[in-house]
Amino acid sequence: MPSKSDIQIPEFRGDEDFARELDHSDPLARLREEFHIPRATNGEPCVYLAGNSLGLQPKAARSIVLEELDQWARLGVDGHFEGERPWYSYHELLRETGARLVGAKPGEVVAMNSLTANLHLMMVSFYRPTRDRCKIMIEEPCFPSDIYAVKSQIGFHGHDPKDALVVLRPREGEWCIRWDDIASTIERERERLSLVMLGGVNFVTGQLLDMRRIAELGHRFGAVVGFDLAHAAGNVLLQLHEWGVDFAVWCNYKYLNSGPGAVGGCFVHEKHSKSFDLPRFAGWWGNDPSTRFKMHLQPEFIPREGADGWQLSNPPILALAPVKVSYDLFDSVGMDALRTKSMRLTAYMEFLLDALLHESCEAITPRNPAERGCQLSLKIGGNARNVLSKLHHRGVVCDFREPNVIRAAPVPLYNSYCDVWRFVESLRSIGKS
């Protein structure tokens, strides 16, 4: 991983003119025009820093959904094979762009279901506990859905989460997890660890883990390694194929702007693409298309190669259409350019906050840009909910995580340097009031 000194961060100034200058010289500034920015009560566009929770709507989302509705009206069932984007193979339109987004080969990714459903499907195949090797390693804080999914899988296999869960915790008084603790935990549990299942970017702290090294170490000690990329996909650079990660899941409604409850994403490494003997929960869309419709003649499930073989149902086209729009947009810019702007934007926010932070407001996200995405998490000393609602009143949208954390995510696609300036200025004035 590059260290802070490897990453070029320009000198910043604290005045508003400087924010305008940064926007003026930002090659990606025009992308903001591609999105609907919600308005505050005074009619002005708000400062939207909650893209880590629900990304904004690309303007092109509406028309692509309407086009599919028209297709359905005009063609009925023939829309499966006719029209501009036949529904039968619709998910394949997202294959190449989705693969580039997470550093995968095209056959390794598929858009389907939702994050938690995909996590279960992946654990059905990749959590194969034996009596001696039955543990799953997760982190704290762990997103509730992930912990429920993991515990229920452990129970499903007849084990007790009390024995089979290894929880990686930050040290006393710290928020982020240290590499030494990750390494020593994997090593300590090496005889009993079946699966390492961590969030690539932590949803509370914004800490980005070194997934390459974790995969390497997990594999060295005989564990399967999977990641939840809910806060990583569309936020940081990923090389899932090269890192040898066994599987990964993510949602497309956070940084990937595909709409509330959008269809999720799933990665299965090529090394498992022909592992047809793995247990899996099957459905017709995962079946080889050449025998898919011969159900009564061919009742045996014949999985497709690659990630496609884990699909269950024919996809919800109206929900998949905005994902296509979003992936195309990301692909037209490229993650490298987005990450470059993202690091600057977040460094700028950190610079402005540094002048402001004191005991009542402390940043808990790693300071090294290589160990975080765009989100900065602030521990608020007073009443954090109160601060959040005062921000909202000033047209600044962030979000809150128990017990006292405000998360602010300046995203490179639609946030500006002026957004960041206004956010910090609002915090300053709330602090004084």
Ligand X SMILES: *Cc1c(COP(=O)(O)O)cnc(C)c1O
Judged by CB under 6 A, the residue of 51, 58, 98, 199 near ligand X is 199
Count of residues touching ligand X (by CB under 6 A): 12
Q: Is the N-terminal amide bond of 170 cis, ω within 30° of 0?
A: no
Q: For residues 98 and 109, is the Cβ–Cβ distance under 8 A? A: yes
DSSP assignment of 341-353 equals HHHHHHHHHHHHH
| Direct distance between the N- and C-terminal alpha carbons of the chain, in angstroms, rounded to an integer | 42
Of residues 242-281, which lie at the interface with ligand X (CB under 6 A)?
A: 251
Give the CA angle between residues 76, 63, 85 to the nearest 5°.
45
CB 265 within 8 A of CB 233: yes
List the one residue from 136, 204, 230, 238 that touches ligand X (CB under 6 A).
230
CB of 12 to ligand X, least distance (A): 30
Amino acid at 125: S
CB of 229 to ligand X, least distance (A): 9
Minimum CB distance to ligand X smaller for 204 or for 343 = 204
> Toward ligand X, which CB reaches closer, 34 or 228?
228
Output 142 or 325, the one with its CB closest to ligand X: 142
As a residue count, the chain comes to: 433
Q: Which of residues 136-175 bind ligand X (CB under 6 A)?
A: 143, 145-146
202 versus 415: smaller Cβ distance to ligand X: 202
CB 71 within 8 A of CB 79: yes
Name which of 78, 84, 82 is nearest 64 in CA terms. Answer: 84
**Interface segment toward ligand X; rule CB under 6 A; list 33-41, 225-233, 310-318, 422-430:** 225-233
Stretch of 5-13, 56-64, 180-188, 227-235 lying at the interface with ligand X (CB under 6 A): 227-235
- Least separation in angstroms between residue 278's CB and ligand X is 22
Residue type, 182: I
| Contact (Cβ atoms closer than 8 angstroms) between residue 53 and residue 399 | yes
Answer for which of 231, 280, 341, 344 binds ligand X (CB under 6 A) is 231
Output the smallest distance, CB 11 to ligand X, in A.
34
Q: How far apart are CA 158 and CA 97, in angstroms?
A: 40
Q: Are strands 265-268 and 109-111 parallel, antiparallel or unpaired?
A: antiparallel
Kind of pairing between the strands at 247-250 and 265-268: antiparallel
203 belongs to the binding site for ligand X (CB under 6 A) = yes
Q: Can residue 232 be called a binding residue for ligand X (CB under 6 A)?
A: no
Find the shortest distance in angstroms from Cβ 401 to ligand X. Answer: 10
Burial class (CB in 10 A: 0-12, 13-18, 19+), 342: buried
By beta-carbon proximity to ligand X, the closer residue of 68 and 228 is: 228
Query: What are the DSSP calls for 246-282, one per residue?
Result: SEEEE-SSSTT---TT---EEEE-GGGTT-TTS----
DSSP 405-431: EEEEB--TTT--HHHHHHHHHHHHHHH
Give yes or no for residue 327 binding ligand X (CB under 6 A): no
For residues 116-135, which are near ligand X according to CB under 6 A? 116
Least separation in angstroms between CB 359 and ligand X: 29
Give the nearest distance from C-beta 161 to ligand X in angstroms.
18
Please give the helix or strand (H or E) that residue 199 lies within, else none.
Answer: strand 193-199
Contact 349, 424 (CB under 8 A): yes
373 binds ligand X (CB under 6 A): no
The residue type at 408 = A
Sign of CA dihedral 6, 10, 13, 19: negative
Please identify, using beta-carbon distances, which residue of 64 and 251 lies nearer to ligand X.
Answer: 251
- Give min distance, CB of 299 to ligand X, in A: 31
| Binder of ligand X out of 57, 97, 114, 194 (CB under 6 A) | 114
Q: CB-wise, 87 or 203, nearer to ligand X?
A: 203
Which one of 108-116, 211-219, 350-358, 359-367 is the stretch in contact with ligand X (CB under 6 A)? 108-116
Asked if 115 interacts with ligand X (CB under 6 A), we say yes
Site residues for ligand X per CB under 6 A: 114-116, 143, 145-146, 199, 203, 228, 230-231, 251
